[in-house]
Amino acid sequence: MSQVTIYHNPRCSKSRQTLELIKEQGIDPDIREYLKEAPSAAELNQVLISLGISARELLRKNEQEYKDNNLSNPELSDAQIIEVMVANPKLIERPIVFKNGQARIGRPPESVLEIL
């Protein structure tokens, strides 16, 4: 079986629920607390490819950092948004589960079952 990885924030209820759901499937995932170990720009680019979404779609729009960095500006490129997410990983939607080059955001947690 391929390894499963989760970008996890233990303070987030959806992240905790998703991790529990993975474990209920008999999987012991690699856990990356992305707020402590922020992904690089290259890693985030790969995340976006795996999810099939734009950088803007990965943003948590209710965070203060979203407003502080003017991320609602439609002129910003994916590269510019990724740069802000690297510096402020709190802006990255969570949790994200990876397996076999595929990824799903655990909102709702059950959505990750598609790739497990």
Active site residue ranges? 12
Sequence-ordered list of residues with C-beta below 8 angstroms from that of 8, at least 6 positions apart, any chain: 15, 18, 19, 31, 32, 33, 34, 94, 95
E strand map for 24-93 = 30-33
Q: How many whole angstroms separate alpha carbon 79 and alpha carbon 85?
A: 10
- What number of residues does the chain have? 116
